[in-house]
């Protein structure tokens, strides 16, 4: 009986001891669900869209330039800076997931509207989602006059790009994006040319410091050219993101000049070998409208 008592007290003693030790362990047992934030600094990587949207109640203004050919008579043309294409964009975060915006580009005088929706957010914890998926859809209206002498009606001028942006933040430095996309032109030069083409955007950013990141992207295309013989090239771009407070500066060099998805994705005539290398930048500024 004595032995039993001894064993019993020893047991009670160890359990109460264990309980004390466990008190701080309780801190870690709670909900540790973590939604991945800041996969990319901006809503655009370079030309391609990222999975990011401005938060709810945030108005974003983006001004983008694509300069003239960098390597065509570069001294006379001041590295192409004399000749810029411009696009302005204004967009708003209706919710933390839903973003709508409008834009206007000097390239073919294209006006556009877009919707972006964060369908899935990368997260870890009780629920594990390895990547974020954002749906993105743009509608583009070409204002530039046609030179073919045909009276084009309104619908001819529209083109579209729809994509699923699949992004993953691998660690605090490296994030990648893969975006299967389709481009549709209401009007193509010949009946032999497809209206709808498939594209695959691949992109990455690598953070060098907390506020500076290197970026790169390329978009594979299913339409290497038109039946007329006009060839299209694979858009490729390299850049650097610099973040200062409410601004993100994105400086880059690319082989594209258009800033609306259907045009830079599916209608890019420039290649590095024929002198198509352009400096460019995107600058975004956010304003918190609703706190």
Partner 1 sequence: MRLTIKPMKRCLSIFALIIGLNASAQQYLTRQGTLSFDAGSPLEDITATSNSATAVYDAADGKLGVQVLMTSFQFKRALMQEHFNENYVESEVYPKAVFKGKYHEGRAIGALTIHGMTQDVNVPATLTEKNGMAHLLVEFEATIEEFGIAIPHAVANKIDKQAKIRVDCKMPSR
> Which positions lie near partner 1, rule CB under 8 A?
1-2, 4-5, 8-9, 12, 16, 20, 23-24, 26-28, 30-32, 34-35, 37-38, 54-56, 58, 93, 96, 171-172, 210-211, 244-246, 286, 288, 291
Under 8 Å between Cβ of 169 and 123: no
Number of CB atoms found within 10 A of residue 103's CB:
20
The residue (of 40 and 264) whose beta carbon lies closer to partner 1 is 40
Among residues 177, 179, 218, the alpha carbon closest in space to that of 198 is found at 179
Under 8 Å between Cβ of 196 and 206: no
The residue (of 41 and 199) whose beta carbon lies closer to partner 1 is 41
**Rg over CA atoms, the chain:** 26
Least gap, CB of 19 to partner 1 (angstroms): 8
| H or E stretch at 14 | helix 2-22
Burial status of residue 79 (CB atoms within 10 A of its CB: 0-12, 13-18, 19 or more): middle
Least gap, CB of 34 to partner 1 (angstroms): 6
Cα atoms in the 13 Å half-sphere on the side-chain side of 17: 6
3-state secondary structure of 267: coil
How does DSSP classify residue 144? S
Under 8 Å between Cβ of 62 and 89: yes
Least gap, CB of 177 to partner 1 (angstroms): 18
The residue (of 25 and 153) whose beta carbon lies closer to partner 1 is 25
The residue (of 28 and 153) whose beta carbon lies closer to partner 1 is 28
Report residue 121 CA to chain centroid gap.
Answer: 14
Report residue 286 CA to chain centroid gap.
Answer: 16
Least gap, CB of 89 to partner 1 (angstroms): 17
Least gap, CB of 47 to partner 1 (angstroms): 23
The residue (of 37 and 146) whose beta carbon lies closer to partner 1 is 37
The residue (of 143 and 288) whose beta carbon lies closer to partner 1 is 288
Partnered with residue 165 across adjacent β-strands are 134
Under 8 Å between Cβ of 253 and 280: yes
Owner of token pair 């002498």: 149
Least gap, CB of 249 to partner 1 (angstroms): 14
Under 8 Å between Cβ of 201 and 183: no
Least gap, CB of 291 to partner 1 (angstroms): 4
Least gap, CB of 112 to partner 1 (angstroms): 24
């Amino acid at each position: 009986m004595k032995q039993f008592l001894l064993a019993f007290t020893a047991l009670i003693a160890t359990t109460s001891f264990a309980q004390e030790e466990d008190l701080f362990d309780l801190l870690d047992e709670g909900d540790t669900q973590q939604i991945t934030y800041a996969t990319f600094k901006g809503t655009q990587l370079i030309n391609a869209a990222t999975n990011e949207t401005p938060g709810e109640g945030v108005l974003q203004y983006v001004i983008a330039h694509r300069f003239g050919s960098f390597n065509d008579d570069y001294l006379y043309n001041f590295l192409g800076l004399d000749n810029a294409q411009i696009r302005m964009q204004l967009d708003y975060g209706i919710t933390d997931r839903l973003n709508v915006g409008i834009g206007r580009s000097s390239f073919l005088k294209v006006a556009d509207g877009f919707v972006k929706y964060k369908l899935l957010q990368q997260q870890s914890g009780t629920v594990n989602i390895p990547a974020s998926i954002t749906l993105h859809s743009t509608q583009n209206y070409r204002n530039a006059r046609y030179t073919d002498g045909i009276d084009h009606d309104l619908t001819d001028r529209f083109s579209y790009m729809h994509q699923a942006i699949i992004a993953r933040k691998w660690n605090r430095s490296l994030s990648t994006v893969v975006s299967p996309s389709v481009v549709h032109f209401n009007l193509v030069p010949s009946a032999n040319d497809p209206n709808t083409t498939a594209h695959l955007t691949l992109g990455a950013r690598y953070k060098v410091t907390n506020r500076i990141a290197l970026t790169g992207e390329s978009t594979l295309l299913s339409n290497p050219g038109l039946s007329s013989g006009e060839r299209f090239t694979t858009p490729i771009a390299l850049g650097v993101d610099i973040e200062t407070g409410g601004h993100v500066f994105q400086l880059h060099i690319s082989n594209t000049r258009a800033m609306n998805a259907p045009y830079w994705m599916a209608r890019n005539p420039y290649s590095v070998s024929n002198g198509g290398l352009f400096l460019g930048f995107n600058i975004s500024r956010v304003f918190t409208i609703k706190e």
